[in-house]
Each structure stands twice: as C-alpha cells, then as structure tokens.
Structure 1
Amino acid sequence: MTEISLDNTVAAIAAELPGAAELFRRHDISFCCGGHVRLSEAAVKAGLAPSALVSELKALEQAAKRDAPEETSDLIGHILDRYHQTHRAELAWLIPLAQKVERVHGDHPSAPIGLSQVLERLRDELESHMMKEEQVLFPMMRRGGSPAIAHPIAQMRDDHEEEVEHLRTLEHVTHGLSLPQGACGSWTALYTGLRKFTDDLVTHMHLENAVLFPRFEAQSPAAS
C-alpha cells in the first residue's frame, strides 16, 4: 500500500485507503481530474494544514487494519460474504437507477452522463475478477497455497488497477458525487448508494492487496 506522506498523490491514496475518497470529498479535494497533485499541495489549496490532513488519513489507515478477521480462511470468507455478494447485489440496482437519472435529468448541467455505462463495464470486469478468485485463487489459498500462486495473484493485482481507473471515471462523470441543489430522491439515492459501493470496493481491494495477498506472495520462487 502507498505510504501516507505529503509527497504521495491524492489519486494514489484515494485508490488504496478505505475512507480516503469520502474524506477528500468532504474537504473539496479532487482525486480524479486533479488527483495527481501531491498531498501537500492539495492540502494547502483546500485551506488545510498538511499535517492535519495526514493525521486524518492515518486515522483511517488504523481503522482499516481492524476491518476484518485475522485468520486466513475467515478473511477469505469475509471477503466473499461482505464484498463479493454485496457488490453484485448493489450493482444490480445501481445500474438501472443510474440509467433512470441519466434519462430523466439528461439536460441538467450536473447530470452524470455516461455513469450507467461506467457501472456496466465495472460490473462485467468485477464479475470476471471475483469468479477467478472464487474458482481458482481462493481455493488455492485455502489449500495452503503453492509456488504457482504468484501468477493468479499478479493477475488480481492488475485487475485492481483497472477497477481503480473505473472508479476515477465514475468520480469524474458524477462531479465528485456532488448533488445539485434540489436533486430528486432517485438522484440522491443513487449517489448515496455509490458512496457506499465505491468505498466498499476500495476496502475490498485494500484487504486483498495489503493483507491477504502478501501472505502468499512469499511462497513464489522470486521471493525465496
């Protein structure tokens, strides 16, 4: 995981640290289009003391470490139940709701044009990713792993990078999940659901990248 320091970019931290995206939104810090600036610059531009922003992010980092079971088999079960099934269920209603908001409010300057397409691409790639974990990677892990496990783990990490790009696009087309004045109930429900979904996805990736995968990557020949 990217270390939290003033030299890191906003985009890198938002993509890897659960809760960081919402923290940045709360401080009006963009992490899609303007996300490639250093944390120090972003803090100053937002009128914040850089050290205070780092402290808030480090508190999120500590919270993320307490998010899931420690034992590997229990952690895998947690990822399957809390994230795989939840992503599927939420995307099943977020996509049609996004289509409705785009259709009804398409002439509004803040309309999230293209959002449903972003979510459909993310759903398709995420479904493929989760199936590979469920059918190949997680069973290997539950059997104790093997030197051959390095390849599927590397592929999952690559998939995560693609998912991060979709999240940045989502942030862009929704203008930072910013609701316009007087937004209807459907639009409000859509963005509320997207906030939870996107933070869940970052937490899911964090648990795999920073907690689960490193336990098995040490088995690869390159690590020995």
Structure 2
Amino acid sequence: MTRLIWLDDATPLPHPDNAHPEGLLAAGGGLSVERLTEAYSKGIFPWFNEGEPVLWWSPDPRMVLTCANFRVSHSLGKKLRQVGRDECSANARIRITTDTAFAQVIAACADPRAQQPGTWISPAIQSAYLAWHHAGVAHSIETWMDGQLVGGVYGVNLGGFFFGESMFSRASDASKLALAYLVRFLTARGIHHIDCQQQTGHLASLGAQPMSRASFLNMLALALEEKKPVWARGQILQSGELAPMG
C-alpha cells in the first residue's frame, strides 16, 4: 500500500504518479499563492473538509471538458439566443461578466446545497483563492439578472489552460449561462480545455469526458508553455469578446 506523503511548507509536492488509487497524493502544508501555483502546474489540487489538514489530489482518470464539445441543450440554446439579442442593450435583463464579484461567487459556491451537509469551500479555501484572484490568476464569471447575482463559475487560468473549480445557480440555467460564456471567452483566446477534476454525471451531461492522468499531464505541460491571455474585468459578449465596464 502506498504511504501517504506528509508535507511542510518547504517540501515540494511529489509527482502525481505517487497518488493512491483514489487520487490522494499528499497531506499538509499551507495554501499560499506559491504553493497553489506549484500544485496546479503539476496537475494537483487541494480538496479537504474544514478542520482537516490540506489534502492534495491528482485523480486518474481526470474529467476534462473540451470547449468544442460543450453540450448546449435545447432550452439553454434558446436562452442563449435571447440573452445574445439583448446583451448590448442598456435595458438587458441578463448580463454575463467576469471578475466583477469574485468574492461573492466563491462564497455562493460555498453555500450549503440540498442533500449536501457541508462544503469543501471552507473559509481557508475562500481566503486562499481570493488572494490568488488578487494576484491575477483566479477568475470568476458572473450571471446577473435585473442587477442581482444569480449564478456563476470560478476557476484558475495558468498559461493556455483553465481549471474549473465550482459553480452555483440561484435561477434556472444561471450557472450554465456563465459556463457557456466562459467557453466562448476561452475559445476566443486560444484556450480549448477546462479541467473539471472529478467525474460526475452532471459534468458528463455538459460534454466533459474522463482522460487518463498521463494524457492530462502531457496536455497540461504543453498548455503551460503558452502565454496567459489578457483577462480584464468586463462584460463578456457571446462572441467571446470583452466589453469594458466603468
């Protein structure tokens, strides 16, 4: 049986091939921007409950959404057309933005959900990713309806790769709208894959597919050689372009 590797803040993360069968690789250490950058660059992410030590994971297989394979249902497609017709209007009821409410999005993702007693998005995780957001690496996509935040997605962009972390919805299809606009935003900037980490039926229904760890790490290594796109605060248009906001 593979022994769990314990870390302090000075110990580099081990290679993902050392992970246990379920994907657990190591435990311990902190959540500094430097540690998170090291982890994601190696295909590793933190996932642990509040009160536990930091647990580091690299599952095999890994769930990945290829942007070109994103599935748009009939109902979502209809809503996207409606939003697209009005997105440049001053009276648009629904707008999709990026990096205008990161703290609100991650806090909403942490809210308890039906049949889910707790959340892994603890105050420590929120604080760490907010610091990463201020460093220009973690980003949010927001869905607004009548000026109210009703859905969103947050994740991490390193080089030519995006790591999706979590999403939330307070109105029908609100999180899917944010994801659809994210896909177009990334595609317009030459980013073609979104890491979804764990396998779920919901992610599969959106077009994500499992990928071996080895294939994922090879793809990630190539993407990290690419230049990170410019990512500024603004309203995302369905073309994938960004309209600046005051």
Q: Structure 2 length normalisation: TM-score?
A: 0.25
Identify which of structures 1 and 2 has the higher relative contact order when contacts are C-alpha pairs closer than 8 Å and 6+ apart: 1
Larger proportion of helix: 1
Q: Structure 1 length normalisation: TM-score?
A: 0.27
Larger proportion of strand: 2
